[in-house]
Chains A and B, each alone.
Chain A
Amino acid sequence: MSASPEAPVIALEGLTVGFGGAPVLDGIDLELRPREIFGVVGETGAGKSVLARAILGQLPPGGRIEAGRILLEGRPIDALDAPQAARYRGGRVALIGTNAKALLDPVARVGDQIGRVLRAHGKPDGRTDRRSVRDRAVALMREVGINDPERRARAYPHELSGGMAQRIVIAMALAGEPEVLLADDATLGLDATVQAQVLERLVERSRERGLSVLLITHDLGIVRHYCDRLAVMRGGRLVEVSEVSRFMAHPADGYSRDLLAAARARPALQPPRKSDDRPPIVDVRDLTMHFQVPGSPQPIRAVDGISFSVAPGETLALVGESGSGKTTAGQCLLRLLDNTDGRIVFDGRDITDMKEAAFRPLRRHMQMVFQEPYVALNPRRRVRDLLAEPLALVEPMTGAERGRRVAELLAAVNLDAAVADIRPGELTAGEQKRVGIARALATKPRFVVFDEPTTALDIRVRAQIIDLIRGLQSSMNLAALFITHDLNSVRSLAHRVAVMHLGKILEQGETRAIFESPREDYTRKLLAAELPIDAETSEPASAGSAA
């Protein structure tokens, strides 16, 4: 903890930024101290990203500082002349953005891209000939934890994984040897184990170089594990600024308390009633899905012989990182993909080789909640039509009956009835997710596949969705396959867990048992990468970065 009251590196005094209408940032007072890692937490639309852009002096088009100032070591940054400002951006303050792949130039080798930053911001005495720039780029890549940096430096961004690309962006940020790093949701969308590794590196390098870091995130777990102090943002204001340890124990503001409560796991569900007497509703044996790649003799083994079963009223969580084949497995169950091998038995009937027309009547009993809510809803159709469509599977209905059923469904997922008349594009991500859930429940199915129902949602929305699914599980006695990489929601929702890795199920068992005594190394690694907000739940995250 570096709480010593030194002169702040960056200070914001009553910073107010607007885009013509209501201010997006409203009187922000903030001090970033030397060598401090400062977390900024808030939900979508809180103004976190605008804050980072304002500090960098690069507001999005239309944005304007309406009041207040930004001080770098006591000097206002708008007093800098053009060359100083150019040195300031990237040289003294560097931004690490979300979605590294989109930030990198797709037609330049990543080593050269780091080289560009080195040329622009290298120390005056630094040599700028090809060789030494290259060497320094490679050294930076090694520093952020890229294996075989000499070879990787010649790669183009599309040849890198998301985590690797994010490391390149961090290397680019470090290249200018800045004093302040602004990390704007830098690990969003990365797998948990990769996220832990990337953050670990970022924090380690920053501590080593004595940098101040503004870590912007919506994940309280990240703040809890890496930050010294934090600020909670809401609607362009800072509602609370506090030491992390004090905040976790005693959040002062009501909104902060809500956030913390929402981020905590719900109490575990009752273990499922012993179901030996009842046959499983879904029974999968040696499910295999191989994709042929044109021009390659080796198929992609997306799902490679997995077996599991789900009893009525039971929730099985399929956890694993991206690329483990979880979603593919779910799609095979619903006959959206034609599996290469293995049997799928639903309610005693083998559906593996059923033709679509024969299977369609069964669809009312098996539904799926799709991963990305926006792309899973036809943008041209109104919510009413989207919800009414599956009703045709149940029985013929009059228009009035359909209307009533749509209203019931919207009420069941806590959406306003007026939502029926708008198109998905006008809904928030949380509302879209609810529409997706309502659509899957329209036919009162007995088995539902939830594909990542909680990803890409704000903390409180995620908690609401979890509560919603919990409520539906008990009220409808729903059997569910819950596909996710969010371990927190697994604790809250699943009776049993199956851990999937590279197309295979490594181990499965009762949720509690898996979380408390995992047998496989991979499971342990997965659990260790989680950044829980409660210290006692798990080992510190550092174990995850050992790899």
Chain B
Amino acid sequence: MARRSSSLLRPGLLIGLALLAVQFVAIVFAPWIAPFSPIEANPLDSLQPPNLVHWLGTDELGMDIFSRIVFATRVNLLIGFAAVALSLAIGVPVGVLVGYYRGLGGALVMRFFDFIQSFPVFVLGMALVAVLGQEIWSVVIVLCMLFVPMFARIVRAEVLSLRERPFIAAARCSGANDFAIMFRHILPNAMTPVIVQVSVSIGMAILLTAGLSFIGAGVRLPSPEWGLMVSSGAQQMILGIWWVALFPGLAIVFSVLSFALLSDEAQRLADTARRKEGAR
């Protein structure tokens, strides 16, 4: 018992959860937290350093940086969650099918994934956004192109080994058909590495969204988005105007950190569970 409680009170887990909670508060209560509109330009107040009115200063259009950071949490996390959820919904079943049936179709799907994954993300992103337009959903689709093959691969690898396990043969003897074997017997046993990967992927998605926006292949101004904000502040950095880029940068760091910490904890829990299973 002593070990269990200490594993729940690990600092990594606490910090990760606390940072996540802050982000959720920002998402839900953004209009109440933010003192200014995130998209209202006020040229008279442009490039003010942090002060009592504009806590984190203003950018060159005079928009309040704190308000924009708070509202951007919605955009960035929405993109991250949507991309990962969609990728799970597509990648996991594809991985199960490809792993279970193998065969020519499966090989073709995997080669197609290889083909997609052989493009650098940013090149793929710029091309797709050029075709689809600079919308939030374009960014989600770009991220899905990245994550679907990743989840499918992870699941497929698990399924390949699980399908040979005796309990699958036992399930077949008990009358389970292919569908039941795949989704009732194999899938629950294949989910552990996926769940660990989910948290990492959300962090990656946030980072990539910011990256795409930074190079101009993501969300458009005046939408509040962290990468875009860093990008607009980057030019002022050498003029000594540090606050425009720094604060949204920190937001990215803490957001990605929270998901990275949580994925570490998920990995640890998965390992413990696996050890416990293996102990018998």
Q: Do A and B come from one complex?
A: yes
**Are A363 and B280 also in contact (CB < 8 A) when A371-B166, A375-B167 are?**
no
Residues of B within 8 A of A389 (CB): 171, 174-176
In the complex the two chains form, is A363's CB within 8 Å of B173's CB? yes
Residues of A within 8 A of B280 (CB): 374, 425, 429
Distance in Å: Cβ of B170 to nearest Cβ of chain A: 5
Q: Mark A355-388, 1 if CB is under 8 A from B, else 0.
A: 0110010011001101110111111110000000
A297 to B192, CA, bound (A): 39
In the complex the two chains form, is A377's CB within 8 Å of B170's CB? yes
In the complex the two chains form, is A377's CB within 8 Å of B167's CB? yes
| Cβ-based interface call for B172 (8 A) | yes
A370 to B170, CA, bound (A): 7
List residues of B (147-185) whose CB comes within 8 Å of A's CBs.
Answer: 165-167, 169-177, 185
| Cβ-based interface call for A545 (8 A) | no
A357 to B145, CA, bound (A): 37
**Are A379 and B166 also in contact (CB < 8 A) when A334-B173, A389-B176 are?**
no
In the complex the two chains form, is B277's CB within 8 Å of A440's CB? no
Of B165, B169, B176, B185, the contact of A336 (CB 8 Å cutoff): B169
**Are A439 and B166 also in contact (CB < 8 A) when A364-B175, A425-B280 are?**
no
Q: Across the two chains, which residue of chain B brings its CB closest to A432?
A: B280
| Cβ-based interface call for A331 (8 A) | yes
A289 to B167, CA, bound (A): 22
A419 to B166, CA, bound (A): 22
Distance in Å: Cβ of A385 to nearest Cβ of chain B: 9
| Cβ-based interface call for A393 (8 A) | yes
Number of interface residues of A (CB under 8 A): 31
In the complex the two chains form, is B169's CB within 8 Å of A370's CB? yes
**Are A376 and B276 also in contact (CB < 8 A) when A334-B173, A360-B177, A367-B173 are?**
no
Residues of A within 8 A of B240 (CB): none
A372 to B176, CA, bound (A): 20
Distance in Å: Cβ of A46 to nearest Cβ of chain B: 17
**Are A392 and B175 also in contact (CB < 8 A) when A378-B189, A380-B188 are?**
yes
Number of interface residues of B (CB under 8 A): 18
| Cβ-based interface call for A390 (8 A) | yes
A257 to B267, CA, bound (A): 49
Q: Mark A430-445, 1 if CB is under 8 A from B, else 0.
A: 0000001001101000
A422 to B280, CA, bound (A): 15
Distance in Å: Cβ of A396 to nearest Cβ of chain B: 13
A364 to B167, CA, bound (A): 17
In the complex the two chains form, is B174's CB within 8 Å of A376's CB? no
A392 to B171, CA, bound (A): 12
A381 to B187, CA, bound (A): 12
Chain A CB within 10 Å, residue with most, of B169, B188, B189, B280: B280
A393 to B189, CA, bound (A): 24
**Are A336 and B172 also in contact (CB < 8 A) when A377-B167, A378-B185, A425-B277 are?**
yes
Residues of B within 8 A of A372 (CB): 166
A389 to B280, CA, bound (A): 24
Chain A CB within 10 Å, residue with most, of B167, B188, B276: B167
Distance in Å: Cβ of B146 to nearest Cβ of chain A: 29
In the complex the two chains form, is A440's CB within 8 Å of B171's CB? no
**Are A376 and B170 also in contact (CB < 8 A) when A425-B276, A425-B277, A425-B280 are?**
yes
A336 to B164, CA, bound (A): 11
Residues of B within 8 A of A331 (CB): 169
A150 to B185, CA, bound (A): 49
Q: Mark B211-222, 1 if CB is under 8 A from A, else 0.
A: 000000000000
Of B167, B177, B189, the contact of A376 (CB 8 Å cutoff): B167
In the complex the two chains form, is A379's CB within 8 Å of B175's CB? no
In the complex the two chains form, is A379's CB within 8 Å of B277's CB? yes
Residues of B within 8 A of A360 (CB): 175, 177
Residues of B within 8 A of A356 (CB): 172, 177
Residue positions of B touching A, CB distance < 8 A: 165-167, 169-177, 185, 188-189, 276-277, 280
Given A331-B169, A390-B173, 18 extra CB contacts under 8 A: A336-B172, A356-B172, A360-B175, A360-B177, A368-B173, A370-B169, A375-B166, A375-B167, A378-B170, A378-B171, A378-B185, A378-B189, A381-B188, A389-B171, A390-B174, A393-B174, A425-B280, A442-B174
Pairs of residues from A and B, 6 with the lowest C-beta to C-beta distance, nearest first: A390-B174, A393-B175, A376-B166, A380-B188, A389-B174, A378-B167
Residue positions of A touching B, CB distance < 8 A: 331, 334, 336, 356-357, 360, 363-364, 367-368, 370-372, 374-381, 389-390, 392-393, 425, 429, 436, 439-440, 442
Could you name 23 residue pairs across A and B whose Cβ atoms are closer than 8 Å?
Answer: A331-B169, A334-B173, A336-B172, A363-B174, A368-B169, A368-B170, A368-B173, A370-B166, A370-B169, A374-B280, A376-B167, A377-B167, A378-B167, A378-B188, A378-B189, A379-B167, A381-B188, A389-B171, A389-B175, A389-B176, A393-B174, A393-B175, A436-B170
